[in-house]
Amino acid sequence: MPKFAALDRALDDNLVLPVPVPGLDEPKEYSIPPMSAKAGLFAQRMMNLALAASIEQDQRRLDPDKPMPPRPAPKAPVLDDDEERDLYELILGEDLLKQMLDDGVSWPWVQRVSQTALLYATADADAAQAYWLSGGQGKALMQNQSRATARSRKKAGPSGTKASRKGAKKAAKPRGSGSSSGGR
C-alpha cells in the first residue's frame, strides 16, 4: 500500500493579503489561516445557498415565461450587523479579526478580506483572486458564475440532463479541486 507524505508539512494553506493600515506607508500583510472543518462546512453551505438563489434569479430573468417550480426561490442568507461580524470572525479567526480592528483597518477592508478568504476556502484561489482584484465586486462574479450555469442548463434542454448538473457542480466546486494556480 502506498504511503503519502503528511500534508501539514507539504502544504501551506494560509492566504496572505496586503491591506492598507492607517499610519503605514505600505500595506500590511495579514496571513489568514485555513478555516476549521466546522467553519468550512458552514461557509460552503452559505455559498451554495447564495449560488442557488443567484442561479434561480437569473433563470427567472432570462426566461420569465418558463414555468418555474411551485416552490419559492431559494434565498441567499441575509445577515444583520452582529451576524456579519460573527461570520467574519468565523472566517478570519477571532485573533486575526481583533488584530485588524486594533490596527485600525477600515470596515470595508475587513469585509473585502473576509469575503476573499471565504471564496478562497469555498471555491479556489482563482475565484478569490478575481474577487480581490475586482475591488470586491462579488455580485458581478456571482452573476457571471450563475449565468454560465444557466446557459449550460438551457443548452441541455428542459429535461435537466447531465450537462446542467455538471455546470452546477463546477459552479459550486469545493476548494482545492483543480485550481492550476496552487489554490487550496
Q: pLDDT per residue over 138-178, tens digit each?
A: 654 555 554 444 454 455 555 444 444 444 444 444 444 43
Check residue 27 and give its pLDDT.
Answer: 97
**Domain extents for the chain?**
36-169
Residue 15 pLDDT exceeds 70:
yes
Identity of residue 53 = A
- Find the angle CA(84)-CA(141)-CA(62) to the nearest 5 degrees: 110
pTM passes above 0.75: no
DSSP 8-class letter at 122: H
Q: How far apart are CA 11 and CA 5, in angstroms?
A: 10
